[in-house]
A and B are shown apart, each in its own frame.
Chain A
Amino acid sequence: MRRYAARRAAALVATLFFVSALVFVVVRILPGDPAALIMGTEGSREASDRLRESMGLNRPLPVQYVEWLARALRGDLGRSIQYDLPVGELIASRLPVTLPLALMAAAFMVVAAVPLGLYAATRHRRAGDYATMILSQIGISVPQFWAGLLLILLFSVTLGWVRSGGFEGWSSGVGAALRSLLLPAIALGLFQAAVLVRATRSAVLDVLREDYVRTARAKGLSELRVVGRHTLRNALIPIITVAGIQLGQLLAGAIVLESVFALPGLGRLALGAITARDLPVVQGVALFIASTIVVINFAVDLVYTVLDPRIRYE
C-alpha cells in the first residue's frame, strides 16, 4: 500500500509537471498578446510595445518557463495581469463559490442518480425503467447553459423565488449563499446525473444477475435488503469510477454555468483570463484544476480498497 501510494504520488508530480509545461506552451503560442489586449484598439502601438516589454514577455520562452516554475515551486504562482493580485490569492478567493457549487452539483447528481438508477434496474424493461431512461436521455441532451436559462426563467423571472444570478457571498449568511448556488448546481448536476443514472442502472443490472442475489432472495430477504445490501455495494465500483470522472467534469461545466449565472467562481476566472490572455492566471487555474482531478482520481483508487477488500495494490 505504501509503495502504491508513493508510486501514485510520483505520477501525480509528473502529471502536474507535464500539465504546467503544456499549458505554458499552449497559452503562449496562441496568437494574441496580453499587452495588445489591454490596449485594445484605442491605445497606441508604442504604448502596447512598452507594456509588453515591462511584462517580461519579450524574453525567450524557456527562460520564462523556468522562472515561472521556480517561483511556482516556492508557492508563488505570479501576479494576475488583469487584476494585479497574486494568482494564488485570486484562486483562493474563487473557491468559496466553485467548491460548494461543485459539491452541491455532485450531491444533487448522486442523490438524484443513484436511487433513480436503482429504481430503473429493478424495474428492468417495465414502464418505470423506460420512463427513467427517457428522463435520462433528456438530461443528457439538454445543454447545460440552456438548462440554466430555463431554471432562471422559471424560478427567478416567473416565480421570483431565487435571484437570477450573482453570488450573495458567505458573509450574507449560509442560507443566502447556498440559495444563490442552488439553480446553477442543479443545472450543472443535471447532465452528470443523467449519465450516472445510466451507469448505475447497468451496474446494478449486472449484479442482479449474480447467483448470490438469487441466493439472497431464496433465503427470503426483503427486496430492500437484497438491493440495498447485496446489490448496491457490489455495484458501487463502476458507479464510483464514473462519479469520480464526473467530479472533474463538474469543474469544467462550471466554466459555462458560472457565466450564465454570473457567479464569481473559478470557471469564470479561467474564462476571463483566457480571453484577456492573463497568462499567470490561466496557468495557475489549469494547474489547480489538474491537481484537483489527479487528487480525486487518487482518492477514488483508495476508495476501491475500502469497497472491495479483495483489491490490494501490492
Chain B
Amino acid sequence: MRRTAALVVVLAALLAVAVVPVATPAQAPRPLVVQSQTEPPGLDMTATPATATSGVIFYNVQEALVKVDRHGKLVPWLAERWHTADNRNYTFFLKKGVRFHNGRELKAADVKYAFERALNPETKHPYAKDYEAIGDIIVKDDYTVTFALKSVNASFLQNIARAGSVIYPREAVETMKSHPIGTGPFRFEEWVRGDRIVLTKNPDYHVKGLPHLDRVTFRFITDPNAVLAALKAGDVDVSLFGLGPEHVQDVQKDARFQVLVGDTTNDVILAMNNSRKPYTDVRVRRAMTYGINKSDVLKGAMFGMGKILGTNVDPLNPYYVDMSKVMPYDPAKAKQLLAEAGYPNGFDTVLKVAPQYYYTVRSGEVIAENLKKIGVNVKIEQIEWGQWLSRVFREADFDLTIIGHAEAWDIKNYANPKYYFRYDSPKFQELFAKSEVTVDDRARRDVYVQMQKLMVEDAPVVWLFMHPRLAVAKKGVQGLWKDLPASAADLSEVAWAPAK
C-alpha cells in the first residue's frame, strides 16, 4: 500500500510539473505574430525565387521601383513616376528622401547597381532572363534613371515590379542572404533559424503614417494541425499559408477568427507530357479535358474553395477571359475523341504527384475516378518534392502530373517548348512574342484573348482551378490583403483594431 502511495506521489509530482501555469505577459496590442509554413531558403530575393522568401521580405523589408498593389495594379513606388515616349526608353523619377535601413538615402546609382548586378551571370539571379531586354541603364542625376531597352518589351514594367527587382544598398549586398536591408516599412531584426524571423517598425518609412505595427514575428510552423493549435491557443495572430480548406472550415465556425478566401495567381494544372504518346495527339488532350469534372475536383481537393480555370490566365490578370465553360465535363464526347484518336478502350497512364502539396494528391484521386469512366486508367505515384523537381520538372520524365503554378504572368511558359510539359506550338510562340512587343493596352489584350482561345483549343494541359488564398486572422487584425496578386505578404497597412 505504501508503494502505491509512493507511486501516486511520483505521478502527482510529474503532473504538477506539467501544469505550472504560464504567467501571461501584459498584452501590448501592436506586435503581430504571423505563421508561415516554410522557412525561407535564405533571405536574398536576388538569389532565390522561393515564395517563402518573398512572403517575408518583399514589400515588408525590400521594395522595387514599381509595386503590384492589392488589386493587382502596377503603381509607382520607389519611383514616384515613370515616363516613356517610345516604349524603349523608360525614365524613372525616384522619390526623394527614401532611406535604406542603414540610414543612407536611395539614389539612382543604387538602381543602376541592382540591375547591372542582376544581369551579371556571375550573380546567378533567378530572373536574369527577364532583364535581357535592358540594353543600358543611364543615371541622369541622383533621382533620375533611364532604362534603354534593346527592343520594345511589354513585360518590362512587370519585370521591374518583381521580387527579384528590389533595390538594396550595394554596401549590404554580401549579407543579404541572412540580413537583408532595404527601404521597406519594416527593418529586419533577427532570424532564429528554424523558429522565427523578427521585423521591427521602420520609423523613417517613406510612406507617411505607415506601418502601423511596431513589430512583426514570422513563425515557421509546418504541420497544419500545429498551426490550428497555435491559432486557437492564441500563440499566433495570423496564418498566411499552410492551412488547408478543411482547417479553414473548422476556423470559420469560431467567432474569434476571420477567414480570408481570396484570389491568387496560383493555377493548379494537370500537366500532360505533350512529347509523349498518347498526349502528342490533340484529340487525346481534349478528351482529357472533357473527361475531367473540374467542379468535382474543386470539391474534392479544396472543399469548393477556389475558382475553376479554363486557361492559364488567372482571374487576377487584367486580360483574363473566363474560358472555364468552353470545354465542359462531357464524358461521352471524351470517349468519342479517344476513339477517333485510336484509343476506343482508353489506355493506362501514370500520374506523378508530390504530396508536399496536399491538393495534388487529392485532385489526382478525383481525376483518376473521373477518367476511369472514359477508359483511362490512372495509376497515382507519389514522389517526394525533390524528386519531382528533378524527374518531372527538369527531365520531363512523366505522363501526367499535377502542380500549382504560382507566378503571375506565367503564360510565357507555354511559349517555351522546353518547359516540362513540352507544349510546342509555333503559333502560340508567335502570339506570345507579339504580346511581348505590343504595348498598346487594347491591342495587347486582343493578343491575350487569342492566346487564351488557342490554349483551350490545343489543350496542352488541363487547367483545373485557381488555388484560393486561405488566410486566417484574429478578429481584430485589419488591413490584410484579401487577394494575392503578388507573392508577398504586405503588412505595411495591417493594424490592430482599436480596443473597444
Residues of A within 8 A of B (CB): 30-33, 36-48, 50-51, 54, 81-85, 90, 93-94, 108, 111-112, 115-116, 119, 122, 128, 145, 149, 152-153, 155-157, 159-167, 169, 176, 179, 182-183, 186, 223-224, 259-265, 268-269, 272, 275-277
Are B195 and A166 in touch, CB under 8 angstroms?
yes
Summed over the interface, the residue pairs from A and B with CB atoms below 8 Å come to a total of: 186
With CB as the reference atom, state the residue of chain A lying closest to B21: A161
In the complex, what residues of B have CB within 8 A of residue A36's CB?
386, 389-390, 393-394
In the complex, what residues of B have CB within 8 A of residue A265's CB?
194
In the complex, what residues of A have CB within 8 A of residue B19's CB?
155, 159, 161
Kindly identify, within residues 212 to 236 of chain B, every residue whose CB is under 8 Å from any CB belonging to chain A. 219-223, 225-226, 229-230, 232-235
Are A260 and B223 in touch, CB under 8 angstroms?
yes
A-B contact pairs, 26 of them (CB 8 A): A31-B386, A31-B391, A38-B41, A40-B389, A41-B405, A42-B49, A43-B127, A48-B394, A50-B124, A93-B193, A116-B7, A119-B7, A152-B229, A156-B229, A156-B233, A162-B22, A165-B230, A166-B196, A176-B22, A260-B225, A262-B195, A262-B223, A263-B195, A264-B193, A269-B194, A275-B386
A99 to B20, CA, bound (A): 22
Instruction: Decide: A46 near B129, CB < 8 A? Known: A83-B193, A169-B192, A262-B230.
Output: yes
Instruction: Decide: A264 near B192, CB < 8 A? Known: A31-B386, A33-B394, A149-B225.
Output: yes
Instruction: Decide: A41 near B393, CB < 8 A? Known: A32-B384, A264-B193.
Output: yes
A157 to B121, CA, bound (A): 51
Are B22 and A179 in touch, CB under 8 angstroms?
yes
Are A165 and B226 in touch, CB under 8 angstroms?
yes
Are A157 and B229 in touch, CB under 8 angstroms?
yes
A45 to B417, CA, bound (A): 13
A225 to B249, CA, bound (A): 59
> Chain A nearest CB: distance from B243 CB in Å?
14
A36 to B21, CA, bound (A): 46
Does chain A have a CB within 8 A of B69?
Answer: no
How many residues of chain B have a CB within 8 Å of chain A? 63
In the complex, what residues of B have CB within 8 A of residue A223's CB?
3
Kindly name the residue among A43, A48, A116, A269 whose own CB sees the greatest number of chain B CB atoms within 10 A: A43
Interface of A, secondary structure class, is helix
A184 to B222, CA, bound (A): 16
A182 to B18, CA, bound (A): 7
Instruction: Decide: A84 near B20, CB < 8 A? Known: A38-B48, A42-B49, A43-B126.
Output: no
Are B194 and A272 in touch, CB under 8 angstroms?
yes
Are A153 and B387 in touch, CB under 8 angstroms?
no
A85 to B194, CA, bound (A): 13
Kindly name the residue among A169, A263, A264, A269 whose own CB sees the greatest number of chain B CB atoms within 10 A: A264
A272 to B3, CA, bound (A): 46
Instruction: Decide: A32 near B387, CB < 8 A? Known: A157-B229, A164-B235.
Output: yes
In the complex, what residues of B have CB within 8 A of residue A41's CB?
389, 393, 403, 405-407
A159 to B193, CA, bound (A): 29
A73 to B395, CA, bound (A): 37
Residues of B within 8 A of A (CB): 2-4, 6-7, 10-11, 14, 17-22, 39, 41-42, 48-51, 121, 124-129, 177-178, 192-196, 219-223, 225-226, 229-230, 232-235, 356, 384-387, 389-391, 393-394, 403, 405-407, 418
Selected contact of B41 from candidates A161, A259, A276, CB within 8 Å: A276
> Chain B nearest CB: distance from A52 CB in Å?
10
With CB as the reference atom, state the residue of chain B lying closest to A178: B17
In the complex, what residues of B have CB within 8 A of residue A162's CB?
22
In the complex, what residues of A have CB within 8 A of residue B225's CB?
149, 260
A269 to B389, CA, bound (A): 21
Are A166 and B126 in touch, CB under 8 angstroms?
no
With CB as the reference atom, state the residue of chain B lying closest to A169: B192
Are B17 and A163 in touch, CB under 8 angstroms?
no
Selected contact of B229 from candidates A83, A149, A167, A169, CB within 8 Å: A149
A270 to B4, CA, bound (A): 42
A262 to B38, CA, bound (A): 11
Instruction: Decide: A40 near B178, CB < 8 A? Known: A149-B225, A165-B229.
Output: no
A206 to B20, CA, bound (A): 39
In the complex, what residues of B have CB within 8 A of residue A94's CB?
194
In the complex, what residues of B have CB within 8 A of residue A44's CB?
126-129
Selected contact of A45 from candidates B356, B386, B394, CB within 8 Å: B394
Are B407 and A47 in touch, CB under 8 angstroms?
no
A179 to B20, CA, bound (A): 8
Selected contact of A37 from candidates B10, B18, B234, B389, CB within 8 Å: B389
> Chain A nearest CB: distance from B231 CB in Å?
9
Selected contact of B126 from candidates A47, A85, A268, CB within 8 Å: A47
In the complex, what residues of B have CB within 8 A of residue A46's CB?
128-129
Are B193 and A30 in touch, CB under 8 angstroms?
no
Selected contact of B128 from candidates A47, A54, A277, CB within 8 Å: A47
> Chain B nearest CB: distance from A196 CB in Å?
15
Are B7 and A272 in touch, CB under 8 angstroms?
no
Instruction: Decide: A262 near B219, CB < 8 A? Known: A31-B387, A83-B42, A268-B194.
Output: yes
Selected contact of B226 from candidates A112, A128, A262, CB within 8 Å: A262
Are B220 and A262 in touch, CB under 8 angstroms?
yes
Instruction: Decide: A39 near B49, CB < 8 A? Known: A32-B389, A47-B126, A262-B219.
Output: yes
A46 to B121, CA, bound (A): 10
> Chain A nearest CB: distance from B282 CB in Å?
25
> Chain B nearest CB: distance from A49 CB in Å?
10
In the complex, what residues of A have CB within 8 A of residue B226's CB?
149, 152, 164-165, 259-262
